[in-house]
Amino acid sequence: MTLTRRQLLAGGAALGIAAGVGVPLALGASSTASPGGVLRSTAPLPTPFRRRLHLPRVLEPVSTDDGVDRYVIRQRLASASILPGLATTLWTYAGEFPGPTIVTRRGRSASIRQINELPVSTVTHLHGGRTPPESDGYPTAVVEPGEERVYDYPLDQRAATLWYHDHRMDFTGPSVWRGLAGFHLVRDEEEEALGLPSGARELPLLIADRSFAADGSLLYPSLDPLLGVPGVLPDFVAGVLGDVMLVNGVPWPVAQVEPATYRIRLLNACNARRLDLRLSASGGDVPFVQIGSDGGLLAEPVEHMHVTLAPAQRLDALVDFSALAPGTEVTLRNDLDGGAMGAVVRFVVGRGERSRFRVPDRLAELPLLRRSDAITTRTFGFQAGDVHHSAGWLIDGRPFDPDRIDAAVKLGSVEVWRLRADFHHPVHLHLAPFQVLSRGIGGPGPFDAGWKDTIDLRPSEEAEIIVRFDGYRGRYVFHCHVLEHEDMAMMANLQVE
């Protein structure tokens, strides 16, 4: 696979290479919201807010003996009705998109048997999981069609909104786009002690933009429709943006809510699209009270009137509908787009008894890592390749090579990583959550609180993160989570020794 990529980078995609270079130079200084090109659907687009929001089903374990929750998931083709009157074939976990939600508790491990009944090879990664290397879904650790693999997750980690998705070398973009993504929620005592809204008042929302052909099938601009050669057509080298907003697999859904406080967990599962989300209502915007980030609860709640989410980032927030009159429409808007993509989902407040959750002042113990804890500082540059050397998307001028270790770190040590970006690059580290120390010459941004596993780096931005490499020894990756950048080699090896 590396060979095909090298061949590709050596010349086959000269146009793509040029586009990869041109985009950051041309747009880096502008206010471009998201990387990439919009892939236009040829199917008629549905009218927003007609179909009901649906929540992914919670998967039942097949057994719970010896402190291990065992699950079985068949990865298979499935047909879904996403657009009116049309059928869409998806690549799914257990026949569903999003895949079924897995809910586990800290202190119990989960063991998930993934059976590949798809026509393509897959790799399953638990994003945000502190996972031994054999089960982390290394990009080349593929499960071929007709084969299966058991992924073991000790999950000795804080309660958090994790998600699982495909991570196949060179082809993560098309695989996730076709449906291979789902939630994995971890719970623990610290979170349960807060008595947060739960059951029907806890809404995990997987937001994903997609594009559809006239026959209802998903469009994706692969260079090679048979996926023998990685990469996308030149217009999309900076990222693939869809023109239909799906929430839990439903285009622009509508949900009836009670006049109560809800816990809403947002996941940006778009390949490349950034989101700037706001809850808009006729009487004024409704705030998000952020209680958690990628890596679980914050120390204390933070109120936001809007929230940006880069691909792979999560937000855990309380939203209080209790003061709103029955019939009030609250629309989750995306201010980075003015058209149809400027809306995401609508909530309509129902009649029912009012119930307001009092948000505690303190949420969790959150140790702050200090710069003085770090034993070393490393710098990584995330940049487009240039035509004269290797192209695609690079880290420190090099394309991903599974055989080269780019960062060898000591188990248990703390490091500061200085990350520089030429363009939009949401940088994600496997295994180790981090805290944001600085952006440019300033402190962390408004959405950087708590433990993160993905940082939203914008054009020409530099940020410092501080990370403790706890958990396991072995080989992991870090990469840009714009999936087209990741597939075009913006990935590197992290070896914990």
Binding-site ranges for Cu ion (CB under 5 A): 127, 425, 430, 480, 482, 485
485 interacts with, out of ligand C2O, Cu ion, none, CB within 5 to 8 A per kind: Cu ion
425 interacts with, out of Cu ion, ligand C2O, none, CB within 5 to 8 A per kind: Cu ion
3-state secondary structure of 85: coil
| Residue window 139-168: x/- pattern of binding to ligand C2O, with contact defined by CB under 6 A | --------------------------x-x-
Which of 106, 108, 125, 452 is in the footprint of ligand C2O by CB under 6 A? Answer: 125
- Six token digits for residue 426: 């949401």
Sign of the Cα torsion 401, 229, 237, 424 reads negative
Buried b / exposed e along 83-93 (16+ C-beta atoms within 10 A):
beebebebbbb
Q: Residue 482 CB, nearest distance to ligand C2O (Å)?
A: 11
Closest to ligand C2O by CB, 125 vs 178, is 125
Site for ligand C2O, residues 310 to 349, rule: CB under 6 A = 312
Based on the shown chain and the rule CB under 6 A, indicate whether residue 485 belongs to the binding site for ligand C2O.
no
Based on the shown chain and the rule CB under 6 A, indicate whether residue 455 belongs to the binding site for ligand C2O.
no
Closest residue (Cβ) to Cu ion? 480
Q: Residue 125 CB, nearest distance to ligand C2O (Å)?
A: 5
Q: Residue 430 CB, nearest distance to Cu ion (Å)?
A: 5
Strand partners, 247: 207, 250
Closest residue (Cβ) to ligand C2O? 127
Closest to ligand C2O by CB, 108 vs 165, is 165
Q: Distance (Å, rounded) from C-alpha 206 to C-alpha 484?
A: 19
Q: Check: CB of residue 465 under 8 Å from CB of residue 419.
A: yes
Closest to ligand C2O by CB, 46 vs 56, is 56
Beta-carbon count within 10 A of 215 CB: 11
Q: Residue 35 CB, nearest distance to Cu ion (Å)?
A: 7
Which of 106, 127, 149, 265 is in the footprint of ligand C2O by CB under 6 A? Answer: 127
479 interacts with, out of Cu ion, ligand C2O, none, CB within 5 to 8 A per kind: ligand C2O
> How far is the CA of 328 from the CAs of 47, 250, 255, 263, 303, in angstroms?
20, 22, 12, 19, 21
Place of tokens 């994995």: 184
What is the tally of helices (H) and strands (E) in the chain?
5, 32
Q: Is 155 left (phi over 0), alpha (psi -120 to 50) or beta?
A: left
Site for ligand C2O, residues 167 to 226, rule: CB under 6 A = 167
Q: Residue 90 CB, nearest distance to ligand C2O (Å)?
A: 19
Sheet holding 393-395, edge to edge: 393-395, 376-384, 414-421, 462-468, 434-439
- DSSP H or E run through 181: strand 181-187
Which of 265, 278, 430, 439 is in the footprint of ligand C2O by CB under 6 A? Answer: 430
Q: Residue 230 CB, nearest distance to Cu ion (Å)?
A: 15
**CA triple 31-33-35, angle to 5 deg:** 115
Q: Distance (Å, rounded) from C-alpha 353 to C-alpha 358?
A: 16
Closest to ligand C2O by CB, 155 vs 255, is 155
Q: Residue 206 CB, nearest distance to ligand C2O (Å)?
A: 13
Based on the shown chain and the rule CB under 6 A, indicate whether residue 479 belongs to the binding site for ligand C2O.
yes
Q: Residue 491 CB, nearest distance to ligand C2O (Å)?
A: 8
Strand partners, 200: none
Interface with ligand C2O (CB under 6 A): 125, 127, 165, 167, 312, 428, 430, 477, 479, 481
